[in-house]
Structure 1
């Protein structure tokens, strides 16, 4: 009775139909429990209160033919409307996990990781994201269930998919993907670990630690739904359920739908994706979720949005630099500091306290433990914006990644940087150096102390969702004329203006020591020059735009890739980037002035030799 009363109060407040709410609500046991004035709470605070209130957990949640309370439609922006719908009402009793410590830790893990240092407004966390994914999972499956009752979807199916959406990120470590994709492989290369595995481990621990009464078959299905593939669950489970939270067929899942909208709004560049329109056309054909072909352009824009966010936000040059600094700080704490923080991911009890607050913990412990001082100093550099510097950047073709990984290495860059310095000193000694090549007021730094570990080569794949392929080719569509037949959309069915490539590699070169900025850039370019000569490439240094011909050119023809784009026979990836070129001796602003280098033997005579020549 108390739970039903509270649901009515929350519903009325969110719809702005309630002007005053008693501050005291009587529970079913007769005791009086105080609750805040619902009418004065913001929708988000109202949602948190509903989740944390003991009243929301009392009484049966399934009454009569309506298994869940009616969801009111609040008048708000799209990003928060669906999130509020989830938060306003309690989840099914078996999925009431959001108050557990295994789930609450996600409040302290930022969704965007290090991108928060570039966009301070993007402070949302994994807790909010998981609530949104759970909401969208229920909305999508409920929409399919209402239109296709012949599928036999049950309340159990809907509830378990919602739980999978709620718990799919339980295994994320500090700073999200920085932990599992970068830190863990660097310190424990022989013990592979992914956050999906951590989510399954934490879900098992959540069930055991809180004595949750749930069938073993349900647990297996939830973990397979999180993984996005059938592994341990009963073979009779519906196949299309595995494409809702983590879709490995084409990447269209509610996880991405939520963070596309949530992240773009947080950075101030809100995108518009009509999920209600997309969900209204979702239909299961041959055990696969298909969409109306008239929404093909909308789906293409979703994939394009993914590429834009990865290129402009998730792989921002400053965010990447901070990622590498955090990794170095964690490695210092792991090895020199003796904290052994990487091993904590294998202990669910210890994992409950492993969040972004690890930075503050290391800084606090460094006060009494000098072994942690280097790690704490690295964190201070991040806060003071004394970051690693990007010295060069290039976008390379997808197929050339292996070529660069094998031939453009840190060892070769350091070796080339030292050879370039020696050549520069020889030219200066004999008066053959070019004055125009040296930045005025700077002295070329001796890279004698430049080490391999001071150079970073970042190769980040950027794509629309399916690597170098057009992801729309992996989506099945239907038409109103044939509701039970699905097929792939062809290029002319939705557009012919397609990019020639759907994937690329972003190559960035960083230096940890800004005084070696020019040295590292010169070394990198020398290595690429050698590779270019080896590959028989020619440098195009002329950036002038050719005059258009008086008569139009014939349409370009040539071999096409599987995605419909023209294959390029020559690559510009090995050419130098003219926009990042600096003069010899350049150092970024704020770099400490290099110490006066003592002239080598015979160097004093260089000006006189140059005058005589």
Structure 2
């Protein structure tokens, strides 16, 4: 078409955009997305993940149009009009207009803490920014179509009172099963950014789509592709989006923003489109470059991010989905501090390191020094099999759809489709061992209160002595050496053996090296003093 523009894209090669959609792109509201990283703080762990919400939104718009045009061409009886296709494309383009700085850090963590009791999500801001865009740019777009686009972004056909085709609401924001072009794009784009090629064919999935019973269904032979899409979502959340270092930086940015908010009034700008347009990832630079003494605390935190003096993960554990509420209620910063201060040290712990300052540090420990992070991980439908929410057809019956039953797709499905990753952080290195001891005291008390087999949660391995890794004796000598962790207790403990440190764990690995080097020098300078010290700790 005359006036169309092409955007070069690493995923789809060239994206052709018509003049109407270009009018939305060439606006301050949409161009703002160039300044917001798609993966937030994960970029500070994966340098290649430098893509922004801008290119993701272009990609979703592209796939939205391709999907709508495919359905219109292959099922003309659906009555899909060019106006429908345009509105779906615009919904894909504008669905992320409301994302705040560092993407989900803003609406999932900062706003709930800065504006306690306020219900707000970035989709609300997307609608606000969409309205501001149309008004400010004086785009000639019918009000009914504007409402249709915003309803498509929300994935809510009820807002159109039955005037629009229900299945169109499943293209950009599918609330029925989460299989939509937004997910198609971010999984492909994010995977490429971290150096993974992936094996999901988006073209195949789109061409497999078919509307049956007013919902988008897929060919049964592509069920494994749908499953792979859902598994990849879970894998990205576990390995990339919730990486321990990226999460530590998230909490540091949140603390910095909370410290700066009383001065900069950041949170109050979420309802002011003329102000919100300037809320991007450059907030970090604005704070760090400021010489306002009132921003000293926020600057100090962000400078720690720059110099990589991050909050430390002191412990982690994967917990069962069914137990998540107990952990929310009982594993809190306040209870960890209380448990740490009530924890009785054994005689061996007292003498583990004569230079241990744990008892002194304990007096300084407060809940504000501790972070408890509970990150839900699932395939897209919480603890349910996502394929149970997708309907399929076959070439033998292209107008009939059904949910696949056992054995229709695979017999190797996981027993569970959801888990929660629990991490405990300390904001100051000196509290590392103390915080871990307090956290573990809580879990040990729970384990002591449970009778054998009472908990639905398998806490993991026993707490083994050093060197308790042994080959499984039942395997033949020619088999690979599988390692099992054995312990003397018949009752499993909730501790992650791979994170165990002494209560008086050094402030940092470098300090630990310094302490060991100093002890070695003391023994070399005065062998008798070194032997006396060993006798006292024996």
TM-score over 0.5 (shorter chain)? yes
CA contact 2:128–2:273 (8 Å) conserved in 1 = yes
- CA 549–612 in structure 1, closer or farther in 2 if over 3 Å, else same: closer
Task: Kindly state the Cα deviation for residue 574 of structure 1 after the two structures are TM-superposed.
Answer: 5.9
What's the CA shift string for 1:301-336, capped at 9, x where partnerless?
Answer: 01010000000000000000000000000000013x
Task: Kindly state the Cα deviation for residue 153 of structure 1 after the two structures are TM-superposed.
Answer: 0.5
Is 2:270 the counterpart of 1:342?
A: no
State the partner residue of 1:392.
315
What is the SS of the residue equivalent to 2:372? strand
What's the CA shift string for 1:61-89, capped at 9, x where partnerless?
Answer: xxxxxxxxxxxxxxxxxx8242x432xx3
Is 2:7 the counterpart of 1:47?
A: yes
What's the CA shift string for 1:545-572, capped at 9, x where partnerless?
Answer: 643389xxxxxxxxxxxxxxxxxxxxx9
Task: Kindly state the Cα deviation for residue 142 of structure 1 after the two structures are TM-superposed.
Answer: 1.0
CA contact 2:36–2:102 (8 Å) conserved in 1 = yes
Is 2:367 the counterpart of 1:444?
A: no
Instruction: Determine the C-alpha separation between the residues in 1 that align with 2:252 and 2:49.
Output: 20
How many equivalent residue pairs? 493
CA contact 1:163–1:222 (8 Å) conserved in 2 = yes
CA contact 2:23–2:139 (8 Å) conserved in 1 = no
Is 2:123 the counterpart of 1:163?
A: no
Is 2:417 the counterpart of 1:495?
A: no
TM-score (norm 1): 0.76
What is the SS of the residue equivalent to 1:371? helix
Residue 105 of structure 2, aligned match among 132, 156, 178: 178
Residue 416 of structure 1, aligned match among 339, 347, 352: 339
State the partner residue of 2:72.
145
Task: Kindly state the Cα deviation for residue 236 of structure 1 after the two structures are TM-superposed.
Answer: 2.2
State the partner residue of 2:494.
575
Is 2:463 the counterpart of 1:541?
A: yes
What is the SS of the residue equivalent to 2:187? helix
CA contact 1:136–1:254 (8 Å) conserved in 2 = yes
- Mapping for residues 248-397 of structure 1, pairs under 5 Å: 248-335=175-262, 338-365=263-290, 367=291, 369-397=292-320
Is 2:130 the counterpart of 1:203?
A: yes
State the partner residue of 1:85.
14
Task: Kindly state the Cα deviation for residue 340 of structure 1 after the two structures are TM-superposed.
Answer: 1.1
Task: Kindly state the Cα deviation for residue 188 of structure 1 after the two structures are TM-superposed.
Answer: 0.6
Look at both structures and tell me which one has the larger radius of gyration over its CA atoms.
Answer: 1
Is 2:395 the counterpart of 1:484?
A: no
| Structure 1: gaps (5+ residues) | 11-45, 49-78, 551-571, 595-606
CA contact 2:463–2:492 (8 Å) conserved in 1 = no
Residue 32 of structure 2, aligned match among 86, 105, 111: 105
CA contact 2:369–2:427 (8 Å) conserved in 1 = yes
TM-score (norm 2): 0.87
CA contact 2:53–2:96 (8 Å) conserved in 1 = yes
CA contact 2:167–2:215 (8 Å) conserved in 1 = yes
- CA 415–519 in structure 1, closer or farther in 2 if over 3 Å, else same: same
- CA 459–591 in structure 1, closer or farther in 2 if over 3 Å, else same: farther
CA contact 1:247–1:253 (8 Å) conserved in 2 = yes
CA contact 2:426–2:432 (8 Å) conserved in 1 = yes
CA contact 1:92–1:159 (8 Å) conserved in 2 = no
Instruction: Determine the C-alpha separation between the residues in 1 that align with 2:57 and 2:492.
Output: 39
CA contact 1:124–1:266 (8 Å) conserved in 2 = yes
Instruction: Determine the C-alpha separation between the residues in 2 that align with 1:457 and 1:577.
Output: 16
- CA 537–529 in structure 1, closer or farther in 2 if over 3 Å, else same: farther
Deviating above 6 A after TM superposition, structure 1's stretches of 4 or more consecutive aligned residues are: 610-613
What's the CA shift string for 1:106-133, capped at 9, x where partnerless?
Answer: 0000000000010011110000000000
State the partner residue of 2:456.
none
- CA 176–92 in structure 1, closer or farther in 2 if over 3 Å, else same: same
CA contact 1:113–1:176 (8 Å) conserved in 2 = yes
What is the SS of the residue equivalent to 1:372? helix
- RMSD over aligned Cα atoms: 2.5
What's the CA shift string for 1:37-67, capped at 9, x where partnerless?
Answer: xxxxxxxxx737xxxxxxxxxxxxxxxxxxx
Residue 162 of structure 2, aligned match among 219, 225, 235: 235
State the partner residue of 1:465.
380
- CA 496–513 in structure 1, closer or farther in 2 if over 3 Å, else same: same
- CA 581–458 in structure 1, closer or farther in 2 if over 3 Å, else same: same
